[in-house]
Amino acid sequence: MTDQEKYDKIFEANKQWIEKNKVDNPGLFKLLVADQHPDFLYIGCSDSRVHPNQVMGLKPGEVFIHRNIANMVIATDLNALSVINYAVEYLKVKFIIVCGHYGCGGVKAAMEHLDYGILNPWLRSIRDVYRLHQDELDIIEDEEARLRRLVEINTYEQCLNVIKTTEVQRSFHENGYPRVAGWVFDINDAQLHDLRIDFEGELKKIKKTYNITGKASK
Ligand code: CO
């Protein structure tokens, strides 16, 4: 198949998808036009092998999605922060999930001592996670096992970054949601692993330093 044929096939597949849903899922399009009320915000890696709706078994309209290289939540990234703000303040999601995956190319690149050009500042944030947990990571001799552990730790740290945001702290205080969870998807067997983050415990710890829900005076 030529590249152009691959491209054209998308529109053919779209038509087939519409026809299939008319039969299997008759109310779907009406539901989509009406509004979106997803319970979940999913923050995951851009990796083409990890598709949030498929991984979670959810239909269109059921999960709000943000993806970037290595599922990062960086304090100055207006893109990620805007998604979190919208999801919490307007969609009122009940869960925010950060989902990493084993075999993550972004995390692997951060472990290599190579110049990745424009990617360097992005990878720096992952290298910062490595530095923060260097004692634990350095003693893992097997490189594959070390990469797997860094994927888990990075996912955990990005959950903490979500908890550090004002929106999450304030909304949880006022409404009892959203809760933040960390998952790792295994591309070898398609299983989802829950890192079982102690959300309320972490929130309490984080508030000691990052509680920014008070009003700043001039
Ligand atoms: Co990845």
pLDDT of 213 > 80? The answer is no
| Ligand 1 geometric centre to CA of 143 (Å) | 17
What pLDDT does residue 161 have? 97
Mean pLDDT of all residues belonging to the chain: 95
What is the band of 24 on the pLDDT scale with cuts at 50, 70, 90? confident
Nearest-angstrom CA–CA distance, 6 and 215: 54
Residues tagged active-site: 45, 47, 49, 101, 104
pLDDT of 212 > 80? The answer is no
| Ligand 1 geometric centre to CA of 64 (Å) | 19
| Ligand 1 geometric centre to CA of 44 (Å) | 8
Domains of the chain are 38-210 (3.40.1050.10)
Residues 6+ away with beta carbon under 8 Å from 65: 41, 42, 44, 52
What is the band of 159 on the pLDDT scale with cuts at 50, 70, 90? very high
**Is beta strand 63-68 parallel, antiparallel or unpaired with respect to 40-45?**
parallel
Which tens digit of pLDDT belongs to each residue from 30-78? 888 888 899 999 999 999 999 999 999 998 899 999 999 999 999 999 9
What pLDDT does residue 31 have? 81
Chain position carrying tokens 């888990």: 152
Question: Among positive and negative, which fits the CA dihedral 11, 13, 17, 23?
Answer: positive
